[in-house]
Amino acid sequence: MQRTIIAVFLGLMILASCSKSDMPGSVKIKYDGEIPQALFAIDNIYRACKSKKIKVLEQDADRDPALVINMIIDPGLGFEAYRIDQQENSIVLAGGDANGLMYAGIDLTEMILLGKDLYAIGSIEQEPYIRHRGLRYNIPLDARTPSYDDTGDAAQKNIATMWEWEFWKQYLDHMALNRYNLLTIWSLHPYPSWIRVPEYPEVALDNVTVYNKPITNWTDMKWIEEGIQEPENLTVIREISMDEKIEHWKKVFQYAQDRGIDIYLFHWNVFVNGAEGKHGIRWEQDNPITMDYIRKSVKQTLLTYPNIKGIGVTAGEHINRELTGKYKTENWMWHTYGQGIMDARAENPDLEVRFIFRRHWSDLEDIAEAFKDYPTEIETSFKYSRARMYSSTEPPWFDKIYREAVESHNIPCWLNVRNDDIFTFRWGDPEYASEYINHMPHELTPGFYMGPDGYVWGREFISKKPQTPRQLEVDKHWYRFRIWGRTAYNPNLDAAYWYDQIRLRFPDADAEHLYHTWKASSDIISLVDKIHFRQNDFQFSPEGCFDRGRFHDVDFFIAVAAMPLQGVISISDYAREPENLDGMTPFDIATHLEAAAKTLIEGAAAVDPKNNAELRETLGDMTALGHLGHYYAQKVRGATYLAMYRWSGKEDDKTNAVAELQKAVGYWEQYAQAANAQYHPQLYARTQELNWDALLEFVKKDVDIARVAETGESIEIIHDNILWKRDTRRF
């Protein structure tokens, strides 16, 4: 069905011979009103016109348009591809499918907002480089049905948010605008919070609750000892029936589909949070009732929410690897998730559900054998950068660990792209993202899903000047999310494209200057990770220089190895043999950190935010990261001099170590001042509390460690998570 909307644009009346500096006086848009993605694109075009104070005519207005825009589907273009053709007073927006058409419309929207000459567009063609571009969402549904680790403030303060329709509407719109087409939802065991299983009626949970006891960095992340099912430990924050819950998620998942976004559901195993003790269900792999319950839960979920297009599983966390027969881990997966999917398809043959098996505590050959009767190909998943996607654009693990198995079994491999490095401050480097995307094993992967394990991108909760309602995290970090979504669609976008994106957000700022300043934020995280590499999320947080149990003092910086295969010499190796090693030395790392820090601080200081609160906060983040970069530069130098002293016994090295670490204290104080100006402290789920003032005490102790150091002291050298006790003279 063709409908016509007539929108009027500012500018002079246009004839075919008008100059390129002119804008059309009126535009007629033709489109199929049955395509939700097209309606979304047109809504954006309409709002772009309104923001420019453009008068809108009714479709039956007695006026011929100066420019006709025709939106069509052209299957020949292919999956999510699009073409924009402009000839004289006509523009054709063609999409290979509904998503491609939506992306074409969003492109045109941005041209309007930027004041581009619509008569000089010419021809533009785009197609996705990465087919599936996803976000990972560890979802805190309820205290009784937590995600992987909900012990941080981000999860606890966003449980209520998960039940807000307006949040999901804005979140999914944001995804579509940035060309993400996949949302993966991760939970230990979500079923009691969002379905009724007819055979197990007591499992369904009404209302939404939060845990009302104190939570610290030592709170049990699996809540096994916390009594999360006991009413006295819970507070109801929303009264809502299971029927209302189901309607909420049906609405959310349908809205996602209307924005061209598939929903996948991921699990860890074996967990039965919210169901344990009911109907004989136990937290046991070899319990036949538990096996049947999970199978029926999977079936009922897919029948209740047919928008779910994928089921992912992790064969780890709470698995008994000693069991055999049908309870063997891989066979258990088949008898629960695999057959649950098959049961749902038997009742609804239209269901198409991908099955993704994560490489974790298991073997690809075993899972392929267990799922040999699955009607379509199974897929696998790999933690591509471990927990540190901002460490390197060329992470080495897939090629070293998993490529051979994936190729030999001919099984597509999804990339689990984990960020557990930077949550508080705004990151922005399109060039880093482009290199990262281009280095992905494109020929072997259907796509990626990006996100952390211990942080929830819900509503912002630490700002000292919060918006009302609180801003979405994906909106606060709009540049980061736009970079990764659009770069995954087209990794060859040039700097001019990103200047325009910054202009759209901050029209009064020098976009080119902001681009180059912001880019340095990437160097801070990447350089620190390269010289001080801890692969897992709980092992290091650069924003606080700590892990779950300790501050990473100067001795720990000496002990930890550099990131493998990055051409970086570790602090301990350099101290042993500074003249005969090839690669980037710790002093080189420190110099580069200093340069990036200087760029951030001086670049931010050169921008006048005027009355733009968001720009002021963005500059504040850049400044904070700059001081953090200076801190790490001095810490790396101090650690290197200290290691050299222990090796050589030269007093000058010890003197230099003390001096550099004293400078580090000063930079941490400036870092704390910049961070405190904008944010309250917060508890991270996977590490500990990010409280800049409290951490200063540990920063100062580094100076004391250097002052009392003696030559020949022993130290633990850490490499690839294996500890060797060595004498420092034999690093």
Q: Are 243 and 194 in contact (CB under 8 A)?
A: no
What pLDDT band is residue 718 in, cutting at 50, 70 and 90? low
Do 306 and 212 belong together in one domain?
Answer: yes
465 and 553 belong to one structural domain: no
pLDDT computed for residue 54 by the predictor: 63
The CA distance from 389 to 670, in Å, is 27
Q: Find all residues with CB under 8 Å of 53, minimum gap 6, and list them.
A: 10
Mean pLDDT, range 122-143, rounded to an integer = 98
Residue 716 pLDDT: 66
Cα three-residue angle 497-499-503, rounded to 5 degrees:
115
Rg (CA), the chain: 27
User: Mean pLDDT across the stretch 698-710?
Assistant: 97
Name the average pLDDT for the chain.
92
The domain boundary, picked from 429, 463, 493, lies at 493
pLDDT at 692: 98
5: pLDDT strictly greater than 50: no
Same domain, 416 and 384: yes
394 pLDDT higher than 70: yes
User: In the beta sheet, which residues pair with residue 84?
Assistant: 93, 124
Q: What is the pLDDT of residues 443-498, one digit of tens each?
A: 999 999 999 998 999 999 999 999 999 999 999 999 999 999 999 999 999 999 99
Whether pLDDT at 250 is above 90: yes
Considering its fold, how many domains does the chain have in total?
A: 3
CATH code at 683?
A: 1.20.120
The answer to whether the beta carbons of residues 37 and 259 sit under 8 Å apart is yes
Looking at residue 65, its pLDDT comes to 76
Pair (143, 120) in one structural domain: no
For residues 13 and 143, membership in a common domain is answered with: no
pLDDT of residue 580: 78
> Does some domain include residue 191?
yes
Say what the pLDDT of residue 714 is.
66
**Range(s) of the domain holding residue 441:** 132-493
Question: Rounded mean pLDDT of 324-338?
Answer: 95
Query: Looking at the domain assignment, is residue 91 inside a domain?
Result: yes
pLDDT score of 10: 31
Q: CA 623 to CA 677: how far, in whole Å?
A: 11
Q: Where is the domain boundary, 493, 524, 551? A: 493
| Number of other residues whose CB lies within 10 A of the CB of residue 214 | 6
Query: Nearest-CA neighbor of 77 among 100, 99, 96?
Result: 96
298 and 406 housed in the same domain: yes
Greater confidence (67 vs 215) lies with 215
- Label residue 50 by pLDDT band (50, 70, 90): confident
408 pLDDT more than 80:
yes
Q: Is residue 666 part of a domain?
A: yes
Q: Looking at the structure, do residues 109 and 204 belong to the same domain, yes or no?
A: no
Q: Give the pLDDT score at 671.
A: 99
Does 507 map to a domain?
no
Looking up residue 278, the CATH number of its domain turns out to be: 3.20.20.80
pLDDT of 348 above 80: yes
Asked if residue 498 is part of any domain, the answer here is: no
Burial 459-477 (b: 16+ CB within 10 A, else e): bbbbeeeeeeebbbbbbbb
Examine the domain organization and report whether 28 and 151 are in the same domain: no
More confident residue, 717 or 15: 717
**Domain shared by 582 and 616, yes or no:** yes
Of 444, 459, 493, the residue that ends a domain is 493
pTM here is 0.94
Residue 12: is its pLDDT beyond 80?
no
For residue 502, tell me if it sits in a domain.
no
Whether residues 104 and 142 share a domain: the answer is no
Reported as a pLDDT band with limits 50, 70 and 90, residue 53 is low
Q: Is 264 helix (H, G, I), strand (E, B) or coil?
A: strand
Q: State the pLDDT at residue 58.
A: 54
Is 361 domain-assigned?
Answer: yes
pLDDT of 24 reads 64
518-533 tens-digit pLDDT: 999 999 999 999 999 9
Above pLDDT 90, what percent of the chain? 84
Quick one: 429 and 552 in the same domain? no
Percent of the chain at pLDDT > 70 equals 93
My answer on whether 30 and 156 are in the same domain is no
Residue 180 to residue 173: CA distance in whole angstroms: 10
- What's 52's domain CATH number? 3.30.379.10
In a domain, 500, yes or no: no
Q: Side chain identity at 613, as an amino acid letter?
A: A
Written as one string, the DSSP assignment of 197-210 is -TT-GGG---SEEE
